[in-house]
Amino acid sequence: MYKDKKVIVVLPAYNAEKTLIQTYNEICGQEIVDEIILVDDASQDDTVALARTLVNVRIIQHDKNMGYGGNQKTCYRTALEFGADIVIMVHPDYQYTPKLISAIAALIGSGVYHCVLASRILGGYARMGGMPAWKYVANRFLTAYANLVMGAKLSEYHTGYRAFSRELLLKIPFERNSNDFVFDSQMLSQILWLQYTIAEISCPTKYFKEASSINFCRSVKYGFGCMATANLFWLAKHGLIAPTLFVPPK
C-alpha cells in the first residue's frame, strides 16, 4: 500500500549521541524508508559528527537552539521539500521503537488515514515501560481534558512518535505553532479542526537515563499550554474568537 510512496523519517535531535545508532539501525531494518532527515537543534554533544558517519542521513543543523517545536518545523519543511509522501517523526532517544515504522506507513499509505499516533497508553505500555507516576497522571488528565473540550477520543496527545501524509502537512498551518513542546498539541488540534481522522497504534516505550524528558517545571508549563490550546479550539468552534491558529493559509 505504501510501495509507491516516498517514506521519509525525520529525527528532531538534541544531544542524541548515545541513542542515535540504536534508533538508526532499527529504522534501516524496516527496509521501506527512502531517506532519513536528522535536524540537530544545536546539540552540545557529538550527535552531528556521529550522524555524518551514517548512510542515507540528511543532516540539517540549527545555529542556535530553536526548541522542540522549532525543530519539528524544520523537519516537516525539509521533508516536504524533498518530496516526502509519508513523513514519520520519531525521537532519536530510543524511547520509542522504530520497528513500528512499516505498520504506521501502511496505515497512511492505504489512504484511509492521514495522521497516525504511536500511543504509549494503548495496551498499558506507559507504566510498564517505566513512565513516572506523575507523568502518567498528567498525561491522563490532559488527554481527558483535550478530548472533552475538543470532542475527540484519542488515547493520548503527547506521544513523540507520529506520522503524516503529504496532503495533511501541506494543509496544517504548523508554522504558526509554538517553538516549544506545546507544538505537538497545537498540531493535533489543527488536524481535528480540519476534521481528519487520526489513527492510533499501541507502542511500547522505554524510560531510561539517556531518553530525553522535560523536567517538572517545564512539564507544568507544557500542561497549561495544552489546556490553553484546547480552550482556543473550543472558543473558535463556537465563534467566540477568530480561528487564526487552525485555519490553513490561503
What tens digit of pLDDT does each residue of 49-101 get?
Answer: 999 999 999 999 999 999 999 999 999 999 999 999 999 999 999 989 999 99
Contact 158, 184 (CB under 8 A): yes
Q: What's the pLDDT score for residue 212?
A: 57
Cell of 199: 489513527
Q: What are phi and psi of 212, to 5 degrees?
A: -70, 145
CATH code for the domain of 206: 3.90.550.10
Smallest CA-to-CA distance from 182 within 230, 119, 149, 140 is with: 230
Average pLDDT along the chain: 92
Smallest CA-to-CA distance from 226 within 159, 162, 145 is with: 145
pLDDT band at 119 (very low <50, low <70, confident <90, very high): very high
Contact 185, 160 (CB under 8 A): no
Q: Flag whether 247 is in a domain.
A: no
Q: Flag whether 231 is in a domain.
A: yes
For residue 53, the enclosing domain spans: 7-237
Higher-pLDDT residue of 249 and 160 is: 160
What tens digit of pLDDT does each residue of 187-208 get?
Answer: 999 999 999 999 999 998 876 5
Q: What is the mean pLDDT of residues 160-181?
A: 96
Total structural domains in the chain?
1
User: Which residues, 6+ apart, have CB-to-CB distance to 44 below 8 Å?
Assistant: 15
Q: Flag whether 179 is in a domain.
A: yes
CB atoms inside a 10 Å sphere around CB 34: 15
Q: Flag whether 244 is in a domain.
A: no
Q: What's the pLDDT score for residue 208?
A: 58
